[in-house]
Amino acid sequence: PSKFRKKKALTLHESDWASYKDRIIELHILENRPLREVREIMEKEFGFCAVIRQYRNRISEWKLDKNIKPDEMESIVRKRQRRKLIEVGKRGLRFRVRGFEVPSQKIDRWMKRKEIPESMSYSPGNPTCQFACFGGEAVY
């Protein structure tokens, strides 16, 4: 018995997305709606049809993805641990990645999952992710 494959999604180019970019950003980033919901709204409002994977790819191309990459989190933890353990007199840092603040609970959860103790300096190897600190705030 032969297997049936899903039909390939229609190829959408940059120009196809351009007129909808602001609305997609408004729904997904500002209103924090899941991509499935964004897709449904875009289909109803504009008749714009794209699959979830296409939305994910396009949002990544626009550098607006919400997920923090492992190398970014490693850099955040390294900087935070350095501030906590070595630069004791300085105030704590707040971190931003692509314009989104990274909650300290998220950093704590990542450290717990990776079994990184709070009391130990973290250095996984060469830092691959660079960021700048401004006024006690680290920004990517």
pLDDT of 124: 61
pLDDT of 90: 82
In Å, how far are 25, 82, 104, 112, 123 from 38, measured between CA atoms? 9, 40, 28, 33, 39
pLDDT of 132: 45
pLDDT of 137: 56
C-alpha–C-alpha distance, residues 140 and 97, integer Å: 5
Strand extents, DSSP E, 14-134: 94-97, 100-102, 132-134
Question: Low-confidence residues of the chain, pLDDT below 50?
Answer: 132, 134-135
pLDDT of 139: 55
Sheet of strand 137-139: strand arrangement: 100-102, 94-97, 137-139, 132-134
Predicted TM-score (pTM) of this structure: 0.67
Tokens for 110, please give them: 């990542």
Q: Are strands 132-134 and 137-139 parallel, antiparallel or unpaired?
A: antiparallel
